[in-house]
Structure 1
């Protein structure tokens, strides 16, 4: 009986702490998303899930808050219904993540085309959406690439299209430009008239590889890092799932022992005992 008590309190402590940790993380993500959305509305940037990462952060934060809260209350009150909802939700998330990975790998070509299409849609409003502009600039500098499929994708932008007036016509953003030093500041017009050339060869002033291909190449070269990130996402969910399953089993065992012992099951905080 003493052993059961130890298992009960250890599982309760682990599960409650687990839920509180993700409750805090969800709150932080939600706060960042709300702040980013306020700034987005302040500068009147465009709508859309892809063009507004703040919306994604808000949704993710809300989901994490809700699911973690269900798990925390369920573990504190020993409520089997809430604990099962929490456990099954984790199962659904794991299944969706695995299915998503399988679909991406199985339909790699279609996924790549869809992603390139989304990038081009964002590039059309590159100068009007600060969120997308910052992300695109970072990606192009980080992965040494230009555009989605290739640098010619920038023709979809009204300022970089060859029919547009101004110094940006037929050019690409300076974040596409080749830099020789890590913190080198590129000439903002270094990509001028790059789209007007039939074919760029040799020592070109800009990166020719599209960002989709550059990112996929980076993934292949850094498979250890990617594997570590995937484990960092999956392992905590599996831990929460297993811990919840064992805790539910422990509660059921406690309740089955009540008729034989004539004692009420112990609870950490009496005021939270379910009726």
Structure 2
């Protein structure tokens, strides 16, 4: 009876080892995906971050990058802890899993909260940012973001092209008689912003709704990735606890 029990425990331990190894393999791949989403948000879509008054959007992306790196390192540690059957390594592994779990839950919650607040923030700040900071010295990132926004989304101004009448730059001699920036033009040529006819500029299309939809889509991706990976980690923590209990205490 005793031999049967030991054999049964050994088979259970072996099954747990392989389950945890498989989990760690996919967990390592997931870490790469999480890091890629965070990096992609910061690298490819960071132009519009300067148009936001809150740093929540970029904070969620940074959290994902950090979580992704830690996940990949943790996945390797998990494989070592599993095959060496070291309870102390499994303890460290479990703590790291828990920390990553919390990081990704935080990223998901931040993305959700900011998703709800985004519309109000843009209504309150986007027009002011565009009209007060465009072409201002030291605000090159805002200028670049505004030009890219208007060209990429085929829009002009926050609500519409009339917003540019309040622009400090448009009112200055540097504008050379432009009524809107050249990036409002359907076909950009030098000084094309002097003519605000519908055939020349995106006259009726404001940028605020298009930017809001764009950022909300990315917040959905960030939130979904963070929450999804966090849910998967629950299984990893369960497997780790079961394997930890099945191993004999290490001699001191």
Q: TM-score range by the shorter chain?
A: 0.5 to 0.7
Is structure 2 residue 167 aligned with structure 1 residue 165? Answer: no
Kindly indicate whether the alpha-carbon contact (under 8 Å) linking 2:134 and 2:142 is maintained by their aligned counterparts in 1.
no
Partners of 1:218 and 1:67 in 2: how far apart? 29
2:194 equivalent among 192, 195, 199 = 192
Residues 76-225 of structure 1 aligned to structure 2 (within 5 Å): 76-77=80-81, 78-102=89-113, 104-105=115-116, 107=117, 109-116=119-126, 119-120=129-130, 123-125=133-135, 131-154=141-164, 158=168, 160-162=169-171, 164-177=172-185, 179=186, 185-192=187-194, 194=196, 205-216=201-212
Q: Which residue of 2 aligns with 1:72?
A: 75
Secondary structure of the structure 1 residue equivalent to 2:210:
helix
Question: Are the equivalent residues in 2 in contact too, given 1:22–1:64 (CA < 8 A)?
Answer: yes
Distance 1:246 1:234 in 2: 17
Structure 2: any 5+ residue segments left out of the alignment? Answer: 1-9, 44-49, 82-88
Query: Would you say 1:242 and 2:250 are equivalent positions?
Result: no
Of residues 252, 255, 270, the one that matches 2:244 is: 252
Which secondary structure state, in structure 2, belongs to the residue aligned with residue 148 of structure 1? coil
Partner of 1:15: 24
**1:243–1:134: structure 2 CA closer, same or farther, 3 Å change rule?**
farther
- Structure 1 gap ranges (5+): 35-46, 180-184, 195-199, 265-274
Higher relative contact order (CA 8 A, sep 6+): 2
TM-score, with length taken from structure 2 = 0.61
CA contact (8 A) 1:169 1:193 kept: no
1:133-183 per-position Cα deviation (integer Å, ceiling 9, x unaligned)? 44333322222212334434445655x322x11454443222212x3xxxx
Deviates more, 1:112-121 or 1:8-17: 112-121
SS of equivalent to 1:205: coil
Q: What root-mean-square deviation, in Å, do the aligned CA atoms of Structure 1 and Structure 2 show?
A: 4.7
CA drift of 1:102 comes to: 4.0
> d(CA) in 1 for partners of 2:142 and 2:181?
13
- Alignment size in residue pairs: 225
State the Cα deviation string for residues 215-261 of structure 1 (Å, max 9, x = none): 346789xx8x986775445423432x224322322333323xx27xx
